[in-house]
């Protein structure tokens, strides 16, 4: 489904992709990265809206449980008693290195924002620095999606040093072998990558290969870069930039 993308200048949220401080604080988990909204809109007061409210409530509640996992998926209105077109599918995912309370706070923030950013949309996704929330009237759960790049950012600072390229390529090669959440470092270059929790190992590897290719081809000599695809993301940075993760933390 075509989604309208919003990023960077959205006025209601702090957009902060690269910051310069350690350690990580909960506030950064809620930093806005991007949102995608379907152009098709539902009518208010319909069964779909009722089910969407129920699903997002379930998302927020599940993430707040003390034993909550970093990934969870949901479906509402899929039973035979529901009218056609009322089903809603959704998920949340946190970075695997976040504590449970940070994950919960991030998901709560994302759920609160997604209807503001994408009012009455049949499908929407919202990526914060520490978590991701998505819903749709179409069942996307567990299905590979190798669509277009959703979001990409390349730093204005560049390097032409052979050592930088060698270290960066070492990190990206390691990230590409991940099958979930992976952190890597080589010299002054660090990075991490993550796939959506319901992807198979093969689909995750394929998604990360595409993300890494985008980082190399689109950001070339940038000393920090981030690429988000529909079902995975990868990023790297050199000393002086901060991504929200330190190598070896997982």
**Taking the CB of residue 198, how many other CB atoms lie within 10 A of it?**
18
In a domain, 245, yes or no: no
Mean pLDDT of all residues belonging to the chain: 84
Q: How confident is the model at residue 171 (pLDDT cuts 50, 70, 90)?
A: very high
Query: How high is the pLDDT of residue 238?
Result: 92
Which residues are within 8 A (CB) of 122 and not within 5 positions of it... i.e. 6 or more apart?
1, 38, 40, 41, 42, 48, 136, 137
In a domain, 125, yes or no: yes
Nearest alpha carbon to residue 208 among 226, 194, 225, 190: 194
Looking at the structure, tell me whether residues 44 and 155 fall in a common domain: no
Which residues are within 8 A (CB) of 236 and not within 5 positions of it... i.e. 6 or more apart?
168, 171, 172, 175, 189, 190, 191, 215, 224, 225, 243
Strand partners, 127: 34, 132
Looking at the structure, tell me whether residues 70 and 118 fall in a common domain: yes
Looking at the structure, tell me whether residues 196 and 120 fall in a common domain: no
In a domain, 141, yes or no: no
Backbone angles phi, psi at 41, to 5 degrees: -120, 145
> What is the side-by-side strand order in the sheet with 151-154?
151-154, 224-228, 232-238, 189-195, 181-186
DSSP string, 91-133: EEEE-TTS-HHHHHHHHHHHHHHHHHHSTTBSEEEEEESSEEE
**Taking the CB of residue 35, how many other CB atoms lie within 10 A of it?**
27
How many domains, in total, are found in the chain? 2
Q: What percent of the chain has a predicted confidence (pLDDT) above 90? A: 67
Look at the pTM and tell me if it is higher than 0.85: no
Looking at the structure, tell me whether residues 132 and 170 fall in a common domain: no
Looking at the structure, tell me whether residues 25 and 105 fall in a common domain: yes
Looking at the structure, tell me whether residues 121 and 189 fall in a common domain: no
Query: How high is the pLDDT of residue 160?
Result: 87
In a domain, 246, yes or no: no
Looking at the structure, tell me whether residues 25 and 130 fall in a common domain: yes
Per-residue pLDDT averaged across 119-139, rounded? 96
Nearest alpha carbon to residue 232 among 201, 208, 203: 208
Query: How high is the pLDDT of residue 144?
Result: 82
State the alpha helices, DSSP H only, in the chain. 26-29, 47-63, 100-117, 162-175, 201-219
The range of the structural domain enclosing residue 129 comes to 4-136
CATH code of the domain in which 158 resides: 3.30.430.20
Interatomic CA distance for residues 68 and 103, integer angstroms: 9
In a domain, 247, yes or no: no
Per-residue pLDDT averaged across 26-39, rounded? 82
Looking at the structure, tell me whether residues 128 and 60 fall in a common domain: yes
pLDDT digits (tens, 9 = 90+) for 59-88: 999 999 877 789 999 999 999 888 999 999
Sign, CA dihedral 161-212-244-11, equals: positive
Nearest alpha carbon to residue 236 among 34, 35, 21, 18: 18
């Amino acid at each position: 489904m075509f989604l309208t993308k919003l990023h960077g200048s959205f006025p209601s949220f702090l957009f902060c992709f690269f910051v310069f401080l350690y350690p990580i604080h909960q506030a950064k988990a809620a930093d806005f990265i991007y949102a995608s909204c379907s152009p098709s809109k539902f009518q208010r007061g319909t069964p779909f809206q009722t089910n969407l409210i129920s699903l997002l409530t379930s998302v927020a509640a599940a993430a707040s449980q003390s034993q909550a996992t970093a990934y969870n998926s949901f479906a509402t209105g899929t039973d035979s008693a529901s009218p056609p077109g009322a089903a809603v599918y959704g998920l949340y995912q946190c970075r695997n290195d976040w504590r449970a309370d940070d994950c919960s706070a991030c998901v709560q923030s994302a759920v609160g924002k997604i209807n503001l950013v994408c009012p009455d949309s049949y499908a929407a996704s919202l990526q914060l620095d520490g978590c991701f929330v998505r819903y749709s009237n179409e069942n996307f759960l567990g299905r590979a999606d190798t669509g277009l790049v959703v979001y990409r950012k390349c730093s204005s600072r560049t390097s032409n040093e052979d050592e930088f390229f060698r270290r960066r390529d070492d990190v990206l090669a390691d990230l590409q072998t991940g099958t979930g959440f992976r952190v890597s470092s080589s010299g002054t270059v660090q990075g991490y990558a993550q796939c959506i929790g319901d992807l198979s190992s093969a689909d995750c590897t394929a998604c990360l290969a595409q993300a890494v290719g985008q980082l190399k081809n689109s950001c070339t000599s940038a000393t920090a870069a981030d690429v988000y695809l529909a079902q995975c993301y990868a990023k790297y940075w050199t000393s002086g930039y901060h991504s929200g993760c330190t190598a070896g933390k997982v």
